[in-house]
Amino acid sequence: MSETQELPETLRYNDWAQAVTEGRLLGQECADCGNVEGTPKGACSACGSRALDTVELPTTGEVYTETTIQVPPVQFETRGYQVVVVEVGEARVMGRVEDGGVAIGDEVTLSGYVDTDDDHPGPVFEPT
Ligand SMILES: [Zn+2]
């Protein structure tokens, strides 16, 4: 993980997605109210400001909420997986936990990404 990479001034989806494939999480911090977003937004969800600065988010966080997606035991996938919302710093990021098994409050770390349609990589976390 490099601290020297430049962060885009305006975080766009492609920048965010590219970072995920490199094992990094980018977010946006509102210059007006300090709210931190875990995914690119056009405006702050808290105050509506468009003055959003790109920030590097931690890749370890705490499970805020989780749900298990049950995949029918047909075709290729035979196990369910968990979708989690992880609090990384002050932001929340949605991701997946392969094999499931984490609970709210557990610490997880970004371990990779899943890209089901070759166009929308999403973070994958594992228990720390
Ligand atoms: Zn704001």
- pLDDT digit string (tens) for 12-42? 999 999 999 999 999 999 999 999 999 999 9
Distance CA 48, CA 41 (A): 10
CA distance 78 to 31: 45
Q: Is 87 helix (H, G, I), strand (E, B) or coil?
A: strand
Ligand 1 midpoint to CA 29 (Å): 8
Compute, in angstroms, the gap from residue 6 CA to the centroid of ligand 1.
Answer: 23
For residue 45, is it left (φ>0), alpha (ψ between -120 and 50) or beta?
Answer: alpha
Confidence band for 1, pLDDT divided at 50, 70 and 90: very low
User: Which H helix or E strand runs over 99?
Assistant: none
What confidence tier does 4 reach under pLDDT thresholds 50, 70, 90? low
Distance 51 CA to ligand 1 centre (A): 8
| Burial group, residue 83, by CB count within 10 angstroms (0-12, 13-18, 19+) | middle
Whether pLDDT at 105 is above 90: yes
What is the SS3 assignment for 123? strand
Span from the CA of 38 to the centroid of ligand 1 (angstroms): 13
The architecture that CATH gives domain 13-127 is Beta Barrel (2.40)
pLDDT value of residue 116: 80
When pLDDT is averaged across residues 76-99 and rounded to a whole number, the result is 86
Q: Starting at the edge strand that comes first in sequence, how are the strands of the sheet with 52-57 ordered?
A: 36-37, 25-30, 52-57
